[in-house]
Structure 1
Amino acid sequence: MKVTVVRSGGFAGIRRRGEADSASDPMLARLVGRVDLGSVPPPGRIPDQFVYDIDIDGRRTTVGEAQLNGPLRELVHHVLGHAE
């Protein structure tokens, strides 16, 4: 399973990208198993907030920093820890 996270926005507009693959990262599958992409609310309209584009094996969602919490936050931080 492959997970990609792209963070954009923020005051400076600097983009950051991270990828992780469960073949080389056993913790990734456990984190993904706790995430329900169907329950992710759309990003709110908050000036200068970070926005996260998340792709889990082709299933995609976009979430604003204000809505990023719980298992989804853990997953995003884990994947961005593998940032290129």
Structure 2
Amino acid sequence: MVRSGGFAGIEQRGQSDSATDPMLARLVDRVDLAMVPPPGRIPDQFLYDIDIDGASTTVGEAQLHGPLRELVHHVLGQGR
């Protein structure tokens, strides 16, 4: 997962493995990347490039809701 954009344009990366992270496995089961709408054109928003087992999409900050939001915060929070 890569977060980019925002006002400062600072990139943040995170990675985790659902085989060793039960919370991640539960979140991944609740997310369908095919159903995520494309990011809107909002100035200075964060964009998230998400790859789950070869399925990938780019999500705008405004589209982060429910399990997808939890997934992003869980994975990016691992590096802190």
Q: Give me the TM-score of the superposition, normalised by structure 1.
A: 0.90
Structure 1 residue 6 corresponds to structure 2 residue 37: no
Give 3-state SS (helix, strand or coil) of 2:31's partner.
coil
Question: How well do the aligned residues superpose, as a CA RMSD in angstroms?
Answer: 1.1
| Unaligned runs of at least 5 residues, structure 1 | none
Runs of 4+ in 1 over 2 A off after TM superposition: none
Greater strand proportion: 1
Query: Are 2:39 and 2:58, in contact at CA under 8 Å, matched by a contact in 1?
Result: yes
CA distance in 2, matches of 1:8, 1:83: 15
Structure-2 separation of matches of 1:22 and 1:43: 26
Q: Which runs of 5+ in 2 are unaligned?
A: none
3-state SS in 2 of match to 1:83: coil
* Cα shift at 1:36: 1.0
Aligned length, in residue pairs: 80
